Structure 1
Amino acid sequence: MRIIRNSAIIAAAGLLAACGSSGPIGEAPGVTVAQSAVMPMPEITDVMPDPQTQLIRPLDVVQVEVFGIPELSREVQVSGNGMIDYPLIGSVEATGRTTEELSFALEQRLRDTYVREPDVTSRITERSTTLFTVGGEVARPGRFPIEGPITLMEAVAIGGGMDEFANEQEVLVFRTVGDERYIGVYNMQAIQRGNYADPQIYPSDIVMVGDSPGRRRIQDILSVVSSLTSPLILIERVLR
């Protein structure tokens, strides 16, 4: 992975002096320290389940009924990029719309075909689930659905909690945003003390507790920077 260097962070002389380090922060292969102590949100936030809304999401299943034309009535699944394929009219954007808005869009498109005054109703019959991963020193590692907003502490609890060998001071959160991958280093004891906020976990995040390949990759940085008073956010370029 290519290093994305950040001279403003590397030049943080006060932090380096406090750590007593003999070298700059951010020299582990492939990673560097980000400017912010807060990880950015994923770019596609509309995949995050929200129990307060009925907006259509990717991978939802929608039942579409066209009054008086049973051959056009069918159940369709929204694709990963938010579209549905429908007879006569092709691809129609569904993600981010209510069922009423989708019905109106289908009516507009069907009017351009041989269908006269189409009357379309839509309803969500199956909600998609979005997943996050918990691994490392937890009792029940695996992938779990997110049905509403959760925090890092809740994510670890969903994974069965930390086992007896877990290192509470080094819990990693991996998140890809655009062409960059962020690695958040959190101290669970510090979160419990209220030193900093319990961060939100999003779909596709990976939470690693304790000793893990991710931890070994950044061990040089962890040796000179503490995550006790604020989270440590690292950043790397994702090669596509």
Structure 2
Amino acid sequence: MKRLIKCMIAWLAAASLGLAAGGTQAADVLLGPGDVVKATVYGSPDLAVETRVSERGTLTFPLLGEVQVGGLSTQQAEKKIGGLLEKGGYLKKAQVNLLITTLASQQVSVLGQVNKPGRYPVDGPRKVLDLLALAGGIGPEGGDMVTLVRNRNGQTTRETLDVVDMVRKGELNRDYEVAGGDIIFVERAPKAYITGEVQRPGPFRIERAMTVQQAVSAGGGLTIRGTQRGLQIARRDASGGQRTIEAKADDLVQIDDVIIVPESWF
């Protein structure tokens, strides 16, 4: 069921990304260092150029030299360049068009347990689910929790989003909007361990509200010598020390628990 929900997350995100892309205009993007733009001027093919925005936020334009465009939208930059061409007496009416061919300044890093980790451009309003879709969705080892690290006005904040719970409840308004420089990190799914008289001893993924009985099933069930009488859990306390407690079949499993299935004496 959880795998199905994660597939739905990827599908919903891809759908919303497609809709958003269809309505996003270049004017939504602010130019920044590393962006590559292709500039054309109507009726003046000799002024066409493809240029990169420098670390100072400038681009080099024919006749004008360096023009400060950092922090401007493409429409604002078009208007500024056109105005400079007219003011310099180069053209009476300058109709400038800028097309971003490489968006390097507005990128979000998607890391952790996703299928295609990397840096992805944000060319308009985007949310966490959109970026997860670009990264191929949550991988098989990924958990429900996604961490979003944002830097706004010099302050770094950290938000945690339970994407499975959000989609399961249809509360997509809980999704966060992202911007260039943000980091999305998908946590690894929490694990516990089972040992003793089970078919497949070793680590297993902890599902929501998972019980000891379900953990035994995740371990392939009991061997012919196994019994659920006398089940024990080796569990770490808040101080990091480990203690062993008696376990019941309906007890909830916690992260890093070691469930010990004893051998039957009869």
What is the TM-score with the length of structure 2 in the denominator? 0.47
SS at structure 2 position matched to 1:167: strand
Counterpart pick for 1:152 among 125, 128, 145: 128
Q: Percent identity among equivalent residues?
A: 20
Cα RMSD of the aligned pairs, angstroms, is 3.5
Greater relative contact order, per chain length (Cα 8 Å cut-off, separation 6+): 1
Q: Is the Cα–Cα contact under 8 Å of residues 60 and 124 in structure 1 kept in the other structure? A: no
1:191 counterpart = 2:191: no
Change (3 A) 1:89 1:190: same
Counterpart pick for 1:103 among 82, 100, 105: 82
* Counterpart AA for 1:102: I
Q: What CA distance in whole angstroms lies between the structure 1 residues aligned with 2:96 and 2:130?
A: 35
Q: What CA distance in whole angstroms lies between the structure 2 residues aligned with 1:101 and 1:89?
A: 11
1:143 counterpart = 2:119: yes
1:83 counterpart = 2:83: no
Give the drift of 1:65.
4.6
Give the drift of 1:75.
4.1
Q: Which residue of 2 aligns with 1:205?
A: 182
Change (3 A) 1:126 1:104: same
Number of aligned residue pairs: give it. Answer: 158
Q: Mind listing any 5+ residue stretches in structure 1 that lack a counterpart?
A: 1-48, 213-219, 221-240
What is the TM-score with the length of structure 1 in the denominator? 0.52
Give the drift of 1:184.
1.1
1:63 counterpart = 2:36: no
Deviations 1:212-234 (A, max 9, x none): 9xxxxxxx9xxxxxxxxxxxxxx
Q: Is the Cα–Cα contact under 8 Å of residues 64 and 76 in structure 1 kept in the other structure? A: no
Q: What CA distance in whole angstroms lies between the structure 2 residues aligned with 1:68 and 1:60?
A: 20
Which structure's residues are more often strand, by fraction? 2
Q: Which residue of 1 aligns with 2:155?
A: 180
Q: What CA distance in whole angstroms lies between the structure 1 residues aligned with 2:123 and 2:60?
A: 26
- The structure number with the bigger radius of gyration is 2
Q: What CA distance in whole angstroms lies between the structure 2 residues aligned with 1:64 and 1:155?
A: 31
1:51 counterpart = 2:24: yes
